[in-house]
Chain A
């Protein structure tokens, strides 16, 4: 049975594939051996930027979710939030790896995650704002999972094979995230007067950040993806959940753009800087470190 045990197999193996999953351990390329040719009518630079946009959304929200470790209301929720973060991190790894292939720069996932400055991150502002209370985090997750699941369904027809593969599998993962967020929205909204108040406050606080997910960027449009098509079905799905939870669909206006620019253009809220400072600290303190 010795060979059937993963840790013993790793300890015994003498090949180079015994990497652990952490910075500096040479963890395997998530696109190992995948055909990386670009479809003929796809612009590599555009595809790279779009993969960074979606990859950064997943990476930054993953980081926010795992901040709940040791702080969640119950152990089960901690495990749940870490699991959701893991799904998103997996999507981010594939998308950022694809970004480095598509633009021909050869940058790997670590180059994108640890070595870009804040203004080169392309995530929407929804994913970067601080966690707030549990209801706020649930509200954010509900909005993101509903919208991203819908986008991934749209991207199941994308011309790029890697983007398509991420989208097809990601849509299933996001449906699970959406179910989790829905269950908590119902439980808090339809719970006590106090839990309903907190859940409503969470929804009200994240609502201005929703619109950015439906605002097309020129890069997406050139790739034939128009997120404005998501607005109506996503709003309908959210309204269904919020109404079922006996809460009120917020009417807050979208958060203003800065000189017409927002997260997709690298313009962020003050919340992203501190997140990146912590997230990138080990890699920047020990550049090129291996262990």
Chain B
């Protein structure tokens, strides 16, 4: 009997991000490529922030998921160039972030040199644009803390990079 393994690319695309489990690594733009030669699989990941400690978990999760469906020869490698950017988050990923109460990053951004941030960020709970930044940093390297003045709910926002 011949057992056909599911496509490695499809399996890898279902692996969730360890810190944002509502998104897959593919949604997040971290899954940089999957190469399959027979039963040997190489998966390329592009880490988010330089210091993101989730990279090891991501690699382990991909490895585990592929082995569970039957792949034995699995290798996970990092690709640093071109670097990850929030622009790589897919439209589906942005939708899932907002659905989970995390304001997605703006699609295009510039670097501000002076003065406080003047980004237009909509509240992921009520949609109001009347929001303010509480802290430029949050629970993980990729998020900032915001608050909605309309519904008074605090929320997280993914920083542009």
Chain A residues within CB distance 8 Å of chain B: 3-6, 9-10, 12-13, 15, 17-19, 21, 27-28, 30-34, 76, 79-80, 82-83, 86-91, 93-94, 161-162, 164-166, 168-170, 172-173, 175-176, 178-180, 182-183, 186, 237, 240-241, 244
Contact = CB atoms under 8 A, between A and B. Distances in A.
B79 interface: yes
Interface in B116-157: 116-117, 134-138, 141, 145
22 contacts: A3-B64, A4-B16, A6-B18, A12-B64, A15-B60, A15-B63, A17-B59, A17-B76, A33-B76, A76-B134, A86-B49, A86-B51, A90-B51, A169-B50, A169-B80, A173-B50, A176-B136, A183-B136, A237-B113, A240-B113, A241-B113, A241-B114
B115 interface: yes
A77 to B, nearest CB: 8
Contacts of B19: 6
B53 A21 contact: yes
Interface of A is mostly: helix
Contacts of A183: 115-116, 136
Contacts of A164: 81
A87 B161 CA distance: 12
A18 B136 CA distance: 31
Given A94-B50, A173-B161, A179-B112, A21 B56 contact: yes
Contact of B63 (A17, A90, A91): A17
Interface of B: 16, 18-19, 21, 44, 49-57, 59-61, 63-65, 67, 75-85, 111-117, 134-138, 141, 145, 159, 161
Most buried by A among B50, B54, B55: B50
Contacts of A169: 49-50, 80, 83-84, 161
Contacts of B159: 176
A32 B112 CA distance: 34
Given A17-B60, A173-B161, A33 B78 contact: yes
A32 B59 contact: yes
Nearest to A6: B18
Given A5-B21, A182-B114, 17 more contacts: A6-B57, A10-B57, A12-B64, A21-B53, A31-B80, A76-B134, A76-B137, A80-B137, A82-B137, A88-B50, A88-B51, A91-B50, A91-B51, A169-B84, A182-B113, A183-B136, A186-B115
A172 B51 contact: no
B50 A34 contact: no
Nearest to A244: B114
